Amino acid sequence: DVKVTQSSRYLVKRTGEKVFLECVQDMDHENMFWYRQDPGLGLRLIYFSYDVKMKEKGDIPEGYSVSREKKERFSLILESASTNQTSMYLCASSSPTGDEQYFGPGTRLTVT
């Protein structure tokens, strides 16, 4: 069965803290993605990676960075968290053909 896991379901951080969100997939997928989801705005792509150590900016990369040291793991980093980064963060993976992306359960991040 397809599985994408995220390190935390809920996270509360203070403004200015460095935040790490981890995502692991067990499907041997090349492509991995980080989205944020906000009411009325839908899912917006932050970064994606199509191979180990490769990354591409999505639509809203400002304030975020990513790391992919191993094929199964894709990390999202908030260098200095701000309140406008309070959101639901979703990780996904897909095969190289780009067909159906499989999503993790999400991390609800609150920055106070």
Partner 1 sequence: EDQVTQSPEALRLQEGESSSLNCSYTVSGLRGLFWYRQDPGKGPEFLFTLYSAGEEKEKERLKATLTKKESFLHITAPKPEDSATYLCAVQLSYNTDKLIFGTGTRLQVFP
Q: Which residues make up the interface to partner 1 (CB under 8 A)?
A: 4, 31, 40-45, 48, 50, 56, 58, 90, 92, 97-106, 108
Please tell me the distance from the alpha carbon of residue 90 to that of residue 52, in angstroms, as a whole number: 19
Q: How far is the CB of 43 from partner 1 (least distance, A)?
A: 4
Residue 9 to residues 63, 95, 106, Cα–Cα distance (Å)? 21, 25, 6
Q: How far is the CB of 87 from partner 1 (least distance, A)?
A: 13
Q: Give me the least distance between CB of 63 and partner 1, in Å please.
A: 20
The CA distance from 96 to 29, in Å, is 7
What the block records as the tokens of 19 is 């935040």
Whose Cβ is closer to partner 1: residue 9's or residue 18's?
9
